[in-house]
Structure 1
């Protein structure tokens, strides 16, 4: 009975945290006050984490310590009012359910506050709220420590609110408005002849590591006087009444002197006569002031014409690397977030208005600007169309008070004049995101999709055109792509209305733009390129050369330092060669010999020209820019080296690995090696070229530290673009096995993806969902392996002359060809180290069970240690699976044999086959002991298979 009461209390506790989690989410999304919004966001995060801890612990049938339960209950009861505390636990849950439904149905934020105050008291001061958050944080840490969490059990949508990217500040919009008003107020002048004013505003995320702590919002721009453009830097302050404060000199105690600007053209002309200087301006209460001009730090050459995004799309589509695309997507979506409904972002903006400046060295910084004519806009510009209103031209000289509502009959309005989308500027953003994703101008994309754009476009026809093109192109975009999600959200009219179909407030609209468009794109950038900080993205983008495939722009000092380092490297190599005569003489293996040279016999010409040599005394440690061999040294292969360069179009087979140790095994099985390709513009991959079983092969590895479907998709896209004749790709590497009574999978075995009646060989299990009666339903489609490879597999499996150990000769080759210090790692570790644990003990899964050896499953002893080959379904996801219960459930229900992390990102990019050597059992008892051998078995099968594939 006591156990039953304890279980009921735990269930009630879990349900209470669930209700509070849902309530906090609604409060977070609807709150306008920045400080409260931040509190609700943190509150929702902690409640979500604790709820999932409780849910996981409950499903694993582990009993939570009574003291921990009391602490969890005391914490949340501290925010309950007396009215809620006097209720029974069941009645309390019912009241929280009612409260959740009530606040979700209220449109007014003040009404939401009035609804929850009788039951929930989060504290009257920020100190009280912080104390409550600290209590939740302490509880979360205790749960994680005492009951270790396995995030593989989380559903994909559970990760959304917990992404560690904070929402950007809303005050940039106010500052941009204030600057525009201040500039327009100073544009009138008595110059003869008259002239127009233009402004080119720098676009960016306006992110900073501690955004709210910094009260400065700075804008860079170029201002024009007639045909000349001059650089300006404007300061604003993030206060309720926007004012701009200039940066103070370190040696001054008082603020810099300033004068009010009356005629903008006078100040532009004045700074124009000062070569190398830029205007320093500030805005106070919508009035423009000039500070002392400063030396420009910009590399922009104002004598060269800027290049528009449209020009890049039409003339230089190869300049759009995967990294460039993601960065531009984040910057442009952030621009809409910050500048929508401001004069800076006109409804007609498009890729022709987005400009990139050239430097004196003809580099083009990845720093977009948008051009606006100040003279064409008044101080009260019309909104960007984010409302339900007829798309009509403005009547002249009409006072709203003179209009009689009875004169307008809705039945007389042409349906074509009503906006189909409440926010046309988001339709334009969707169009530009499609252009960037496909590196193709929209009109060209439309022609490919057989969409006639017509001679003129209004907001409605544009929405229809972009939607039709998106529908036609969506099959070429993986459904788990955040580009796909962002474009779909932009084009969905209902996403930008209230539940009743009304207009959103300005703050609500910005909040949705961030949640549905900006955040997904930021997340994809962070996942694909973890080294790029969202908070430093603006500064990082400035360093990239758009004209040279996002290579880093070097200053004169950097170029000098690079030259000095190159000279030191060359001198060091010369000294190294002089001290080691064996490195000077090229090695010539005997004809037909399989004898391998020792490490001292390797030639420097075999090394990658982009490699950076360590000062270590060991000459074979090489680090490659892409992380190709970040863990493993170069293979000591005797494959013949052809110094002749072959055209990229000659290579027909691609091999993609996730880890350097996997690629090392592949390269050890090259029959011949070719010199590395030169000048693959826009491709950050580092390739190994050669032949395997008569096929021209290009092999690559993911950059060091990058894993998962997004990184694999990037590398595969680059490979396909650089080597257009590749007909299929082999994903070769390691994975986690799922042994069952029907499939006796052991460590070192090979699993090959093979389609079934329901699935194409690979299941992306983090993009599926469980529906009624535990049926698995995919939310996205993956392409099956090419028929060419399926035919080769059939040939292998039906070959009566195939030996019982077909992989062993190739495994011997791998061991013989890797460096001496790695030979043992690529050998079979021994069957005594192959242990599969039962699920009878949860402690075993943490690796801390004192009786662990008694929980090892007893399996029939195999007669040999030769790896076996299994064919069937492989499960792929963007996270590691370390849970035996989840492994067994998916294996039992769907017949999955193996789990891995990259295949789903490549299946829709390349026709491909997945080959995985089993290095663990996808449980918490993971070890790296089998990884090298498993990588070797996968590479061995790849070579065996290629021998059966007809040579193109």
Structure 2
């Protein structure tokens, strides 16, 4: 063997040894991670493990191609891989050769696997590894590994063409959707256009907005033989007033009038079949439907002819008085609405729209995200139910909604090769697919296409010069620029790549595909990969029933689920569960007094917030379904179904110290319950309601009382009066303790989190003074309940959690509190957030100081006003802390993030978690400017956390005992005769 070949072989052996080294390091860190209880250390170990795993995979891939590399490149690879190891290993251990290090590492791994004591593990590791004793040192190690991984990715990129089929994300076996939608949509458009001729002046400007969807049928409906029914929901307009319409494409059916059984039997003769009316002028049924706002216009198409059926009462909550919101508007101004779940659902719906509507007038060649619209509901929710806006043109082209069939009548043999424009060879024959690829990229990156191009330095053609060719080239260039940020083995990448590849949409001879073959290709090459991606990420979302599922998702509140509750069903349920229904909102001058509402037997529906339960959804919902209508009342409007509950039904307690804190909490109730009457021996006054499906009881300390003793007394009363409370949330304001590790700002939230030494809260004024002016903490407090700790972990690990998870709740609070307080519950501005380095008498007394700027710690402004959430230790005591030096000393010695005055009195009374909004910095400069906003951020986090916490619902039927009669919410309600019992 020649010397170069031998050197290359030795280099390959060294690389192989380094791969085994990274594997052993990962195994050692994984063992540490499994037994670690400190959240910060656990997170650091997880990052170290992840990078070691990725680097190990890179090495394995590179080793497969190392035979084709040069000696110098192998040497560079060894140098690159050795860089992080120099930082991870001790100096003496790193001096050993790669082969000499393996056996000691194996021994270390074997020892710490069976060792349970943390200190003993440290002793075992000390001669070999230095993972960092501080967070900064660990972060430096993580940065080195991240840099090494990035360099490996850049220097040794993967080649997707070499992937085996099994290396790509597998496609699922999903049944094909109906191919009948295309012809039905064509027929509907023709039928409508044929009825547009009328002598009305001025001429009508007809428009349609067709609901987009997969048009799949759930298996239950298929078994009932309903697969031949196709209904199309849309809105029609002659000017700008949109009317709800449902168009049926089914066999003619008999529609009968249903009369009450109590009517005279002679009236049965009036129940003759109602014959459909042939529509001659489209403007007539639309105009007539304007006077029936609560009804939906029902049409039917048979053989390209339009018929009017009997109008039906609408179940939609769409508020037609509000303008629709386009997808482009969401991308530009409401990016927080996009989560991984909503993006995947939207991708499936948009691709299904192309599958169903390609080459129809519904889908123009110039369609874009501006044409995809979403309607608001009366509660300001925005269901994830897109509509395509299409003008109803008199020109109905049988085969072109795309302008795709230019020159299709020409025989290729008749074209002189010298007459072919080279640009035409580079173009794409199906512009709608190019647009789909563009919109998929917009949704993936949550950015409109022009800004996406700008981000990746791609210059676009101006609108006036744009054509099918330039648009294709623009989208292709942007995709090439950003494709590195999309996993290349993902089904999403495959779908976009297929959309833009002209060869996919040609036959073997390079000719256009016939319509059926084309649509089959669209499904197999684009829709199916996106359906597979959705199913793999969210197995609980049914592809066969995606349309129904999507319309229950609030796109306006980053994917929370909303649900229509049928009032009649709830009325039936109330017979068993003690639910009092059919009440209207309170009388104008009688807060809390309810008035009965007439009921006509038809039932009615109410849009209601419903959060995903842990058992029913893969990820819990995080926010309200939308902002409530602005009200001057402190409490949200009473919903139409109110439960009459005994005290045993409430399972969550919230305790506040100040009325301004309780006001923020009550503003976030989804449903308000009436307060109980006076309870002997309990001086608390309670606010009751529902919050994220939890039965909540909230209370405030008596005015003028504060500290641990007052809090302990209030908590004891609450626990005695509401015996089934499982845990309590202490929600309110506190003083922050910023450090170099925790950039705490005013308005941020601090949540108590246990460490290896403390249970999340320290009673910092309880202890022993020891000689030498030292203070030793004594006593112990109970840690937060396990259910809340798992909820916190679930929240912090949720990939769908937006960067501003509290924003919608903060808006709810600011819009629901009384008008005079609304400005106080909004962010006061970062200019009013000053952290002083030291105390200055001149600054504090008069505000006039020649050296004032030097007393303020310089901190760059955050890019937004969104509050950040911090997890760690909270100090609690009976004294008000107004000393920055004492604050910093406690923060440095114990890692304290926040100071407050109630938690230590409650921790041993209730299982509880402390949530504090930062209103000052616990120094002599504290004031009340930030108190209301800080109270709002704490309340917002409390509701957010409850969305991740499993409910402990206990349903009770009502009792005739004096205890339960105190909870009668309305006069005149009849108690059932049975005794209280669990159901």
Q: State if a TM-score over 0.5 links the two structures.
A: no
TM-score of the aligned structures, taking structure 1 as reference length: 0.45
Structure of larger gyration radius: 2
